[in-house]
C-alpha cells in the first residue's frame, strides 16, 4: 500500500471517528449521563489523530507541498469534516 493510500484511509477513519465522538458520544455523555461511548471512541480517535499528523508530514515531504498546504492539512484534522475536505481538495487527483 502506498503512503498516499495509507494517508487517505487514515484521514477517512480519523474524520469518521471525530464526527462520532463529537456528535454522538459527547452528547450521550453529557445529556444521557453515559460516558461509555466517549471511552470507547476516545483512544482509537487519539491514535488515528496521531497517525494522521505523522502521515500528513510524510505526504507533505513526498508530494513537496508548501508549508501553507501542510498547515491547512493539519488544521483540517481539528475541524469537523475537515479531513473530507482535504481528500477532495488535495488528494483526489493524486496518483496512488
96 — pLDDT class (breaks 50, 70, 90):
low
Q: What is the pTM of this model?
A: 0.91
CA distance 93 to 96: 9
CA distance 90 to 96: 13
Contact of 21 with 41, CB cutoff 8 Å: yes
Parse the chain into domains and list their residue ranges: 3-91
State the pLDDT at residue 91.
85
Mean pLDDT of 32-59: 96
Mean pLDDT of 6-25: 96
Which of the pair, 91 or 46, is modelled with greater confidence? 46
SS3 of residue 75 by DSSP: helix
State the pLDDT at residue 37.
95
**pLDDT above 90: percentage of residues in the chain:** 91
The mean of the pLDDT values for the chain is 94
Amino acid at each position: 500500500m502506498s503512503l498516499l493510500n495509507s494517508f487517505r484511509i487514515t484521514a477517512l477513519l480519523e474524520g469518521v471517528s471525530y464526527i462520532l465522538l463529537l456528535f454522538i458520544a459527547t452528547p450521550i455523555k453529557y445529556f444521557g449521563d453515559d460516558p461509555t461511548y466517549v471511552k470507547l471512541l476516545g483512544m482509537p480517535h487519539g491514535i488515528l489523530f496521531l497517525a494522521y499528523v505523522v502521515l500528513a508530514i510524510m505526504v507533505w515531504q513526498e508530494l513537496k507541498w508548501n508549508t501553507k498546504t501542510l498547515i491547512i492539512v493539519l488544521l483540517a484534522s481539528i475541524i469537523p469534516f475537515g479531513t473530507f475536505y482535504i481528500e477532495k481538495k488535495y488528494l483526489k487527483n493524486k496518483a496512488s
